[in-house]
Amino acid sequence: MVTVVVWYTVVLALIVSFVTMTILVNHNVILKYSNGRIKRFFAHPLLSFTIRRTGSAFISVFLAVTLTFFLLRIYDPSTVFCTSIFSNKRIPIAIKNQLCQLKLQNLGMDSTLFSQYLKFLFNIIPFPKNVCITQTTRLVNGTWSLVCTRQEWKVVNLGVSAVISVDRPVSEFFASQMPWSFYIGLCSMVVELLIGYPMGVFMAKYKNKWFDKLGNAYIILVGSIPSLVYFYLLQALFVEGFHLPLRWSKTDFVSWIPAILTIGLSGVAGIALWVRRYMVDEFGADYIKFARAKGVPENTILFKHVLRNAAVPLVRSIPAGVLYCLLGSYFVEKIYFVEGFGQLLVNSIQRNDYPIVQAVVLVSAIISIVASLIGDITTAIVDPRVTFSSK
Protein backbone atom coordinates (compact mmCIF):
# COMPACT_ATOMS: atom_id res chain seq x y z
CA MET A 1 0.00 0.00 0.00
CA VAL A 2 2.96 2.30 0.61
CA THR A 3 3.86 1.99 -3.08
CA VAL A 4 0.34 3.07 -4.06
CA VAL A 5 0.58 6.13 -1.81
CA VAL A 6 3.96 7.06 -3.30
CA TRP A 7 2.71 6.75 -6.87
CA TYR A 8 -0.43 8.67 -5.98
CA THR A 9 1.70 11.46 -4.51
CA VAL A 10 3.91 11.56 -7.62
CA VAL A 11 0.91 11.81 -9.95
CA LEU A 12 -0.65 14.53 -7.80
CA ALA A 13 2.64 16.46 -7.80
CA LEU A 14 2.84 16.22 -11.61
CA ILE A 15 -0.72 17.54 -11.97
CA VAL A 16 -0.01 20.46 -9.63
CA SER A 17 3.22 21.23 -11.51
CA PHE A 18 1.42 21.15 -14.87
CA VAL A 19 -1.32 23.51 -13.66
CA THR A 20 1.23 25.84 -12.06
CA MET A 21 3.28 25.92 -15.27
CA THR A 22 0.21 26.80 -17.32
CA ILE A 23 -0.78 29.63 -14.98
CA LEU A 24 2.74 31.09 -14.89
CA VAL A 25 3.12 30.98 -18.68
CA ASN A 26 -0.28 32.59 -19.28
CA HIS A 27 0.58 35.40 -16.86
CA ASN A 28 4.00 35.91 -18.50
CA VAL A 29 5.86 35.08 -15.31
CA ILE A 30 8.08 32.59 -17.15
CA LEU A 31 8.93 32.06 -20.85
CA LYS A 32 7.87 35.64 -21.44
CA TYR A 33 10.03 36.19 -24.53
CA SER A 34 10.00 32.61 -25.81
CA ASN A 35 7.97 31.51 -28.81
CA GLY A 36 8.84 27.80 -28.86
CA ARG A 37 6.59 24.78 -28.79
CA ILE A 38 6.53 24.64 -24.98
CA LYS A 39 5.34 28.23 -24.75
CA ARG A 40 2.68 27.70 -27.43
CA PHE A 41 1.45 24.52 -25.73
CA PHE A 42 1.06 25.98 -22.24
CA ALA A 43 -0.30 29.27 -23.59
CA HIS A 44 -3.01 27.59 -25.67
CA PRO A 45 -6.36 29.33 -24.91
CA LEU A 46 -8.27 26.04 -24.59
CA LEU A 47 -5.83 24.73 -21.98
CA SER A 48 -6.05 27.84 -19.81
CA PHE A 49 -9.84 27.89 -20.23
CA THR A 50 -10.07 24.26 -19.10
CA ILE A 51 -7.93 24.93 -16.03
CA ARG A 52 -9.99 27.99 -15.07
CA ARG A 53 -13.25 26.11 -15.42
CA THR A 54 -11.86 23.14 -13.50
CA GLY A 55 -10.76 25.45 -10.69
CA SER A 56 -14.20 27.05 -10.47
CA ALA A 57 -15.72 23.55 -10.52
CA PHE A 58 -13.68 22.54 -7.47
CA ILE A 59 -14.83 25.67 -5.65
CA SER A 60 -18.47 24.95 -6.50
CA VAL A 61 -18.22 21.36 -5.22
CA PHE A 62 -16.50 22.55 -2.04
CA LEU A 63 -19.22 25.13 -1.33
CA ALA A 64 -22.01 22.61 -2.04
CA VAL A 65 -20.70 19.93 0.32
CA THR A 66 -19.77 22.48 3.00
CA LEU A 67 -23.22 24.04 2.98
CA THR A 68 -24.85 20.60 3.13
CA PHE A 69 -22.63 19.52 6.01
CA PHE A 70 -23.53 22.48 8.22
CA LEU A 71 -27.23 22.54 7.31
CA LEU A 72 -27.57 18.90 8.36
CA ARG A 73 -26.15 19.74 11.76
CA ILE A 74 -28.48 22.56 12.68
CA TYR A 75 -30.31 20.18 15.01
CA ASP A 76 -28.76 18.45 18.00
CA PRO A 77 -27.66 14.99 16.71
CA SER A 78 -28.78 13.32 19.94
CA THR A 79 -32.39 14.36 19.26
CA VAL A 80 -32.14 12.83 15.78
CA PHE A 81 -30.25 9.57 16.35
CA CYS A 82 -30.98 8.73 19.99
CA THR A 83 -34.76 8.99 20.01
CA SER A 84 -35.26 5.22 19.90
CA ILE A 85 -32.77 4.74 22.74
CA PHE A 86 -34.35 7.30 25.08
CA SER A 87 -37.88 6.07 24.29
CA ASN A 88 -37.03 2.54 25.46
CA LYS A 89 -38.33 2.38 29.04
CA ARG A 90 -36.56 -0.90 29.85
CA ILE A 91 -33.10 0.69 29.61
CA PRO A 92 -31.79 2.58 32.68
CA ILE A 93 -31.12 6.28 32.16
CA ALA A 94 -27.36 5.93 32.78
CA ILE A 95 -27.13 3.21 30.13
CA LYS A 96 -29.23 5.29 27.74
CA ASN A 97 -26.77 8.17 27.91
CA GLN A 98 -23.86 5.82 27.38
CA LEU A 99 -25.52 4.09 24.41
CA CYS A 100 -26.37 7.46 22.87
CA GLN A 101 -22.77 8.60 23.27
CA LEU A 102 -21.54 5.39 21.61
CA LYS A 103 -23.94 5.86 18.71
CA LEU A 104 -22.80 9.43 18.16
CA GLN A 105 -19.19 8.29 18.43
CA ASN A 106 -19.83 5.62 15.82
CA LEU A 107 -21.24 8.30 13.49
CA GLY A 108 -18.36 10.67 14.24
CA MET A 109 -20.66 13.25 15.84
CA ASP A 110 -19.32 13.19 19.37
CA SER A 111 -16.69 15.91 18.81
CA THR A 112 -16.92 19.63 18.07
CA LEU A 113 -18.56 20.77 14.84
CA PHE A 114 -15.28 22.06 13.43
CA SER A 115 -13.52 18.76 14.19
CA GLN A 116 -16.32 16.86 12.45
CA TYR A 117 -15.96 19.14 9.44
CA LEU A 118 -12.19 18.62 9.19
CA LYS A 119 -12.66 14.86 9.46
CA PHE A 120 -15.34 14.98 6.77
CA LEU A 121 -13.04 16.89 4.41
CA PHE A 122 -10.20 14.46 5.14
CA ASN A 123 -12.44 11.51 4.25
CA ILE A 124 -13.63 12.92 0.91
CA ILE A 125 -10.25 14.22 -0.28
CA PRO A 126 -9.11 11.70 -2.92
CA PHE A 127 -6.02 10.28 -1.25
CA PRO A 128 -5.35 6.72 0.06
CA LYS A 129 -6.26 6.40 3.73
CA ASN A 130 -6.76 3.51 6.16
CA VAL A 131 -10.27 3.84 7.59
CA CYS A 132 -12.43 1.82 9.93
CA ILE A 133 -15.37 0.32 8.05
CA THR A 134 -17.29 -1.50 10.79
CA GLN A 135 -17.30 -1.10 14.56
CA THR A 136 -18.88 -3.07 17.36
CA THR A 137 -19.78 -2.28 20.95
CA ARG A 138 -17.89 -4.26 23.60
CA LEU A 139 -17.62 -4.13 27.37
CA VAL A 140 -14.03 -3.12 28.17
CA ASN A 141 -13.04 -2.77 31.86
CA GLY A 142 -16.66 -2.31 32.87
CA THR A 143 -17.30 0.38 30.24
CA TRP A 144 -19.02 0.04 26.89
CA SER A 145 -16.62 1.07 24.11
CA LEU A 146 -16.44 0.98 20.33
CA VAL A 147 -13.96 -1.45 18.83
CA CYS A 148 -13.06 -1.42 15.13
CA THR A 149 -13.61 -4.85 13.57
CA ARG A 150 -12.69 -4.14 9.93
CA GLN A 151 -10.32 -1.65 8.34
CA GLU A 152 -9.78 -0.93 4.65
CA TRP A 153 -7.66 1.33 2.48
CA LYS A 154 -9.87 3.76 0.58
CA VAL A 155 -9.16 6.69 -1.70
CA VAL A 156 -12.47 8.38 -0.81
CA ASN A 157 -14.33 7.41 2.35
CA LEU A 158 -18.04 8.22 2.07
CA GLY A 159 -18.81 6.73 5.48
CA VAL A 160 -21.43 4.20 6.53
CA SER A 161 -25.20 4.34 6.76
CA ALA A 162 -26.53 5.54 10.11
CA VAL A 163 -30.20 4.57 9.79
CA ILE A 164 -31.30 2.83 6.56
CA SER A 165 -28.82 -0.05 6.85
CA VAL A 166 -26.63 0.52 9.89
CA ASP A 167 -22.86 0.22 9.28
CA ARG A 168 -23.29 -0.58 5.59
CA PRO A 169 -20.77 1.47 3.53
CA VAL A 170 -22.40 4.22 1.52
CA SER A 171 -20.35 3.19 -1.50
CA GLU A 172 -22.26 -0.11 -1.54
CA PHE A 173 -25.55 1.80 -1.89
CA PHE A 174 -24.12 3.61 -4.90
CA ALA A 175 -22.75 0.41 -6.43
CA SER A 176 -26.11 -1.36 -6.11
CA GLN A 177 -28.48 1.46 -7.12
CA MET A 178 -26.64 3.86 -9.43
CA PRO A 179 -26.16 1.39 -12.34
CA TRP A 180 -29.91 0.86 -12.76
CA SER A 181 -30.54 4.60 -12.93
CA PHE A 182 -27.72 4.88 -15.45
CA TYR A 183 -29.05 2.12 -17.72
CA ILE A 184 -32.57 3.54 -17.73
CA GLY A 185 -31.31 7.10 -18.16
CA LEU A 186 -29.00 6.12 -21.02
CA CYS A 187 -31.79 4.33 -22.88
CA SER A 188 -34.05 7.34 -22.28
CA MET A 189 -31.43 9.68 -23.72
CA VAL A 190 -31.22 7.53 -26.86
CA VAL A 191 -35.01 7.83 -27.21
CA GLU A 192 -34.80 11.61 -26.74
CA LEU A 193 -32.12 12.02 -29.42
CA LEU A 194 -33.64 9.60 -31.94
CA ILE A 195 -37.04 11.31 -31.75
CA GLY A 196 -36.31 14.86 -30.62
CA TYR A 197 -33.53 15.80 -33.04
CA PRO A 198 -35.28 14.69 -36.28
CA MET A 199 -38.49 16.20 -34.95
CA GLY A 200 -36.81 19.58 -34.47
CA VAL A 201 -35.19 19.36 -37.93
CA PHE A 202 -38.48 18.71 -39.72
CA MET A 203 -40.29 21.35 -37.65
CA ALA A 204 -37.73 23.91 -38.80
CA LYS A 205 -37.76 22.72 -42.42
CA TYR A 206 -41.56 22.82 -42.63
CA LYS A 207 -42.03 25.92 -40.48
CA ASN A 208 -45.68 26.92 -39.96
CA LYS A 209 -46.85 23.75 -41.73
CA TRP A 210 -48.98 21.04 -40.12
CA PHE A 211 -45.99 19.08 -38.76
CA ASP A 212 -44.54 22.20 -37.14
CA LYS A 213 -47.89 23.09 -35.58
CA LEU A 214 -48.35 19.55 -34.28
CA GLY A 215 -44.85 19.55 -32.81
CA ASN A 216 -45.36 22.93 -31.15
CA ALA A 217 -48.62 21.67 -29.65
CA TYR A 218 -46.78 18.72 -28.12
CA ILE A 219 -44.02 20.99 -26.78
CA ILE A 220 -46.58 23.33 -25.21
CA LEU A 221 -48.49 20.37 -23.75
CA VAL A 222 -45.40 18.93 -22.09
CA GLY A 223 -44.30 22.33 -20.82
CA SER A 224 -47.68 23.36 -19.41
CA ILE A 225 -48.56 20.15 -17.55
CA PRO A 226 -46.78 19.46 -14.23
CA SER A 227 -44.19 16.74 -14.67
CA LEU A 228 -45.78 14.42 -12.13
CA VAL A 229 -49.18 14.61 -13.86
CA TYR A 230 -47.53 13.95 -17.22
CA PHE A 231 -45.69 10.94 -15.79
CA TYR A 232 -48.90 9.44 -14.40
CA LEU A 233 -50.70 9.98 -17.70
CA LEU A 234 -47.95 8.10 -19.52
CA GLN A 235 -48.04 5.39 -16.86
CA ALA A 236 -51.77 4.92 -17.42
CA LEU A 237 -51.21 4.79 -21.19
CA PHE A 238 -48.44 2.19 -20.99
CA VAL A 239 -49.96 0.01 -18.28
CA GLU A 240 -53.67 0.19 -19.11
CA GLY A 241 -53.44 0.85 -22.84
CA PHE A 242 -50.49 -1.32 -23.90
CA HIS A 243 -50.59 -3.73 -20.92
CA LEU A 244 -46.93 -3.23 -20.04
CA PRO A 245 -45.73 -4.21 -16.53
CA LEU A 246 -46.28 -1.62 -13.81
CA ARG A 247 -43.49 -2.78 -11.52
CA TRP A 248 -39.91 -2.60 -12.74
CA SER A 249 -37.80 -5.76 -12.58
CA LYS A 250 -34.05 -6.14 -12.98
CA THR A 251 -34.39 -9.31 -15.05
CA ASP A 252 -37.36 -8.36 -17.27
CA PHE A 253 -36.38 -5.77 -19.89
CA VAL A 254 -40.01 -5.34 -20.96
CA SER A 255 -40.68 -3.84 -17.51
CA TRP A 256 -38.02 -1.21 -18.27
CA ILE A 257 -39.92 0.17 -21.27
CA PRO A 258 -42.48 2.31 -19.34
CA ALA A 259 -39.77 4.05 -17.29
CA ILE A 260 -37.53 4.56 -20.34
CA LEU A 261 -40.33 6.01 -22.48
CA THR A 262 -41.67 8.17 -19.65
CA ILE A 263 -38.30 9.91 -19.23
CA GLY A 264 -37.49 9.86 -22.94
CA LEU A 265 -40.77 11.29 -24.26
CA SER A 266 -40.69 14.11 -21.72
CA GLY A 267 -37.18 15.05 -22.89
CA VAL A 268 -38.12 14.95 -26.59
CA ALA A 269 -39.96 18.26 -26.29
CA GLY A 270 -36.93 20.14 -24.99
CA ILE A 271 -34.56 18.80 -27.65
CA ALA A 272 -37.03 19.43 -30.48
CA LEU A 273 -37.63 22.98 -29.26
CA TRP A 274 -33.95 23.91 -29.17
CA VAL A 275 -33.08 22.21 -32.48
CA ARG A 276 -35.98 23.95 -34.20
CA ARG A 277 -35.08 27.33 -32.72
CA TYR A 278 -31.42 26.94 -33.63
CA MET A 279 -32.17 25.83 -37.20
CA VAL A 280 -34.71 28.60 -37.79
CA ASP A 281 -32.01 31.10 -36.78
CA GLU A 282 -29.56 29.41 -39.15
CA PHE A 283 -32.08 29.53 -42.03
CA GLY A 284 -32.24 33.31 -41.57
CA ALA A 285 -28.46 33.78 -41.52
CA ASP A 286 -26.71 35.76 -44.26
CA TYR A 287 -24.69 32.82 -45.54
CA ILE A 288 -27.90 30.84 -46.13
CA LYS A 289 -29.44 33.77 -48.03
CA PHE A 290 -26.29 33.99 -50.11
CA ALA A 291 -26.41 30.25 -50.85
CA ARG A 292 -30.03 30.51 -51.96
CA ALA A 293 -29.18 33.48 -54.17
CA LYS A 294 -26.54 31.31 -55.86
CA GLY A 295 -29.19 28.67 -56.56
CA VAL A 296 -27.98 26.04 -54.09
CA PRO A 297 -30.71 23.37 -53.64
CA GLU A 298 -32.65 23.45 -50.37
CA ASN A 299 -31.64 19.92 -49.39
CA THR A 300 -27.97 20.83 -49.86
CA ILE A 301 -28.44 23.91 -47.69
CA LEU A 302 -30.21 21.84 -45.05
CA PHE A 303 -27.88 18.85 -44.81
CA LYS A 304 -24.54 20.44 -45.70
CA HIS A 305 -24.76 23.81 -43.96
CA VAL A 306 -27.64 24.17 -41.49
CA LEU A 307 -27.51 20.69 -39.94
CA ARG A 308 -23.75 20.90 -39.40
CA ASN A 309 -24.10 24.13 -37.43
CA ALA A 310 -27.24 22.94 -35.66
CA ALA A 311 -25.34 19.87 -34.44
CA VAL A 312 -23.28 22.02 -32.05
CA PRO A 313 -25.88 22.06 -29.23
CA LEU A 314 -26.41 18.33 -29.75
CA VAL A 315 -22.69 17.59 -29.38
CA ARG A 316 -22.62 19.74 -26.26
CA SER A 317 -25.59 17.97 -24.67
CA ILE A 318 -24.48 14.36 -25.19
CA PRO A 319 -21.58 14.22 -22.64
CA ALA A 320 -23.66 16.06 -20.06
CA GLY A 321 -26.66 13.84 -20.74
CA VAL A 322 -24.63 10.67 -20.22
CA LEU A 323 -23.40 11.89 -16.84
CA TYR A 324 -26.84 13.08 -15.75
CA CYS A 325 -28.11 9.54 -16.40
CA LEU A 326 -26.26 8.52 -13.23
CA LEU A 327 -28.49 10.71 -11.05
CA GLY A 328 -31.77 9.10 -12.04
CA SER A 329 -35.28 10.54 -11.82
CA TYR A 330 -36.94 10.33 -8.43
CA PHE A 331 -40.57 10.57 -9.60
CA VAL A 332 -40.18 8.03 -12.40
CA GLU A 333 -38.32 5.62 -10.13
CA LYS A 334 -41.02 6.09 -7.51
CA ILE A 335 -44.03 5.35 -9.71
CA TYR A 336 -42.38 2.34 -11.40
CA PHE A 337 -40.68 1.02 -8.22
CA VAL A 338 -37.18 1.28 -9.68
CA GLU A 339 -34.39 0.60 -7.18
CA GLY A 340 -32.31 3.47 -8.49
CA PHE A 341 -30.21 6.38 -7.35
CA GLY A 342 -33.04 8.90 -7.59
CA GLN A 343 -34.84 7.53 -4.54
CA LEU A 344 -31.71 7.25 -2.43
CA LEU A 345 -31.44 10.96 -1.63
CA VAL A 346 -35.13 11.37 -0.73
CA ASN A 347 -35.18 8.24 1.43
CA SER A 348 -32.01 9.25 3.26
CA ILE A 349 -33.40 12.74 3.96
CA GLN A 350 -36.71 11.34 5.23
CA ARG A 351 -34.88 8.98 7.59
CA ASN A 352 -32.15 11.44 8.65
CA ASP A 353 -29.32 9.31 7.31
CA TYR A 354 -26.71 12.08 7.28
CA PRO A 355 -23.78 10.13 5.78
CA ILE A 356 -25.85 9.08 2.76
CA VAL A 357 -27.24 12.59 2.27
CA GLN A 358 -23.73 14.07 2.34
CA ALA A 359 -22.42 11.46 -0.09
CA VAL A 360 -25.33 11.85 -2.52
CA VAL A 361 -24.95 15.65 -2.53
CA LEU A 362 -21.20 15.28 -3.10
CA VAL A 363 -21.62 12.86 -6.00
CA SER A 364 -24.51 14.84 -7.51
CA ALA A 365 -22.55 18.10 -7.33
CA ILE A 366 -19.51 16.50 -8.95
CA ILE A 367 -21.57 14.92 -11.74
CA SER A 368 -23.50 18.14 -12.45
CA ILE A 369 -20.43 20.36 -12.51
CA VAL A 370 -18.32 17.90 -14.51
CA ALA A 371 -21.17 17.56 -17.02
CA SER A 372 -21.31 21.33 -17.44
CA LEU A 373 -17.51 21.50 -17.73
CA ILE A 374 -17.36 18.78 -20.40
CA GLY A 375 -20.19 20.45 -22.31
CA ASP A 376 -18.37 23.81 -22.35
CA ILE A 377 -15.08 22.25 -23.43
CA THR A 378 -16.78 20.16 -26.13
CA THR A 379 -18.51 23.25 -27.49
CA ALA A 380 -15.21 25.13 -27.56
CA ILE A 381 -13.60 22.29 -29.52
CA VAL A 382 -16.31 21.69 -32.14
CA ASP A 383 -17.49 25.29 -32.63
CA PRO A 384 -14.79 27.57 -34.11
CA ARG A 385 -16.94 30.62 -33.36
CA VAL A 386 -16.30 30.22 -29.63
CA THR A 387 -13.52 32.49 -28.36
CA PHE A 388 -11.67 32.43 -25.05
CA SER A 389 -10.72 36.09 -24.90
CA SER A 390 -12.29 38.27 -22.25
CA LYS A 391 -12.07 41.33 -24.50
Q: Does residue 271 lie within any of the structural domains? A: yes
Distance between CA atoms of residues 295 and 293, nearest Å: 5
- Same-domain status, 306 and 351: yes
Are 298 and 311 in contact, with CB atoms under 8 Å apart? Answer: no
Q: Does residue 92 lie within any of the structural domains? A: yes
Domain end (from 167, 201, 218): 167
Q: Does residue 163 lie within any of the structural domains? A: yes
CATH of the domain at 176: 1.10.3720.10
pLDDT in tens, the chain (391 residues): 556 566 667 766 777 676 676 666 666 656 555 566 666 666 667 777 777 788 888 888 888 889 988 888 887 777 777 777 777 777 777 777 777 877 787 777 777 888 888 888 888 888 788 877 777 777 666 666 777 777 777 888 888 887 777 778 888 888 888 888 888 888 888 888 889 888 988 888 888 899 999 999 999 888 888 888 888 888 888 888 888 888 888 888 888 889 888 888 888 888 888 888 888 888 888 888 888 888 888 888 887 778 777 777 677 677 667 766 766 677 888 888 888 887 888 888 888 888 888 888 888 888 888 877 777 777 777 666 666 554 4
pTM of structure: 0.77
Q: Does residue 389 lie within any of the structural domains? A: no
* Count of structural domains within the chain: 3
Q: For residue 146, list its beta bridge partners.
A: 137
- Same-domain status, 260 and 140: no
Q: Is the dihedral of CA 369, 197, 218, 190 positive or negative?
A: negative
Residue 205 DSSP one-character state? H
Distance between CA atoms of residues 378 and 69, nearest Å: 33
Residues of the domain holding 57: 2-72
Give the helix/strand (H/E) hosting 136.
Answer: strand 129-140
Q: Is the dihedral of CA 248, 253, 257, 260 positive or negative?
A: positive
- Same-domain status, 113 and 221: no
Domain end (from 72, 91, 112): 72
Q: Does residue 391 lie within any of the structural domains? A: no
